Chain A
Amino acid sequence: MSGARVLEAQVGIVGAGPGGMAAALHLARAGITVVLLDEGFRAGGQIYRQLPEGYDAGHRISEPPSHRAGNHLLDAVARERIRIVHGATVWNARPGQIYYEQNNESWLLACEQIVLAPGAYDRCVPFPGWTLPGVITAGAAQVMVRGFAVAPGQRALVCGTGPLLLPTVTALASAGVKVVAALEAAPRSAMWAALRGVIGNGARMREALFYARSLLRRGIRLQWGASVFAADGDGRVQSALIGKLDQQGAPRPETARRIEVDVICAGFGLVPAIELGLLLSCAARYDAPRGGHCLVVDEQQRTSVDSVYAVGEIVGIGGAEVAMAEGRVAGAAIAARLTSVSFDPRLALHARSERRAADAMLRAFQLRPGLFSICKPDTVVCRCEDVTSSQAAAAGELYGRTTRGIKMGCRAGMGPCQARICGLNLHDIFCDGVEPDLPVAQVPVKPVRTATMIDVPRR
């Protein structure tokens, strides 16, 4: 077994996306030592994902205007020589201590303050056939294109809901994929609601315009109030059943039609990755429009735990601009604590206005309950444990209609993804009328080797 490995910094930041990087930059410029931990191979997080070292795609991959800010941030972080630890799977944390596994080694980052910026992951909604290889999340498709310059397929269906569908469509198109259909589950009225929400936010307006233009140029039409009904194929996706949704968001079978595709990219919004925050005992609350359970923070991004700050998606889905603004706030707040500079309240004001614009957008794209009726009794709802919808329903009936009851009755949510994929669905499909149980924070927040847990470095 390897020896103890300890890194030290004044501030430890989890997540090298826009929020984490913005916080790091602010802190580094104030002369504070920071270390960024990220599970990915390069900085940028999910949104400003970079190609691997040694790749050059020129301008072949479509980049919305907002990515310019991301590139600036990446450059600045590199210039300041901020230490980023890549391939770091954080599995445990306490105030002042972050434990991670890297290259099969067990590490400890000892720090005075912690900033959590672990981002979010795609919300999935189960539909018949969604376990077939070839059904991927919208995020997965973006990773293929932006992270590896790989086309996810030749003919794609893009479906789901929310502002992330557009970048997915444009990324696919720029990779040469034929987007056979692009389906937004929300009704067309959501578009107007979203646009009204972002009026006055120049950056968001420019972004919307960029996507509208790039879809138009490629002749792709976004269909509102439509969704995937099923995926089919022999061992992998070969076709999809798609159609329109009614007022409640339920499928209208008479509108169903089959399209030939080899990949289905589905993204029904994003879910905040709050697990580490829960482990640190940070207070959280359920906020459906913001994606699920979110950490509660004050105006300086401080959680209910004094030395732990949270920025970006884990406070509520909001996108890169919100994350960056909040990252700066957390950086400034910590800098004010550790040095003699004072906190500039304008930063907090700016973050709040970005957050407001994001919230307006999110409210327009809430999942409608009918959508869950796409899931049939024999559709798998928990992929890790292979639990079908009817098994989960029976478990809830006997054990209690909560995600905990369902889990006890049929193991749904007990697999390695730790209910990240199925948790909210179990609630939304089976637990009418009760607030979802707060996910249980358990060590490790992501699976790690036994050796890593045995070999914990100590100080």
Chain B
Amino acid sequence: MASSEAVPTWEQVASDYGRTIYNFAYRLTGNRDDASDLAQEVLLRVRRGLAGYRPGSFEGWLWRITRNAFLDDVRKKQRRPTAELPDEDRSTIATAPAPEEVLAETRLSAEVQAALLSLPIEFREAVVMCDVVGLSYQEIAEAVEVPVGTVRSRIHRGRLLLRDALEGRV
């Protein structure tokens, strides 16, 4: 959108996208500490890369960096995704007024997270970029460096796989 016009400063990127990058990382890794490290790494790479960045599709550029940082990390650690009960869900339990409802909701989101982690990486990142981050197919294609048609099929198959994974769990 408007981001294709000018080169943003690093502070702008951090403040505008920090939260979204963190959530992207969190849903891909299923782990708060990993998400925090990853988001930190992305912001570092953005800071290094901004000097060489030319106005174009900023979203595509940013998410390409984010996604590559994630893949590098996976390769480095040979990560085995963990499906722990997310921290922020615990804090919800502590403060919310209607325990049964919140618990049900928490269990559901933990199940969705676990199902998400069972998907192969290319499907997982496609559905997270689409449904959690809210990127368009074009933006995802630029980030992942594949044709839009491939993005479309990964999103669709990813959602079907997610459904299967959730049904297996229930």
Q: Indicate, yes or no, whether A interacts with B.
A: no
Q: Give me the interface of B with A, judged by CB distance under 8 Å.
A: none
Q: Give me the interface of A with B, judged by CB distance under 8 Å.
A: none
